[in-house]
Amino acid sequence: MPERTDWEAKARGLLRSEMTKRNITYSQLAESMESIGVHEDERNLRNKVSRGKFTAAFMLQCLAAMECSALRLD
């Protein structure tokens, strides 16, 4: 079974990959999240994503704010 840090790296990579695909910065993500009622500033977003330690709810919020309707896990 993968180590916990492996899963954190995978989660971090998935979010960063979706941001890159859409050419979205942390600042733009913060604005998009605000529009769906989630209050996160750019610094907090950057810190959470870089650590890879965040809840599934946070990840879903980010994906919804980026209008991501499908996610490849492999």
If phi > 0 it is left, if psi is from -120 to 50 it is alpha, else beta; for residue 34 that is alpha
For 29-57, write each residue's pLDDT tens digit: 999 999 999 999 999 999 999 988 899 99
Domain boundaries, the chain: 4-65
2: confidence class by pLDDT, cuts 50, 70, 90: low
- % the chain with pLDDT above 70: 95
What is the chain's mean pLDDT, rounded? Answer: 92
Question: Cα angle vertex 49, ends 2, 12, to 5°?
Answer: 35
Q: Which two tokens stand for residue 11?
A: 């989660």
- Predicted structure pTM score: 0.88
Please say if the pLDDT value at position 1 is more than 80.
no
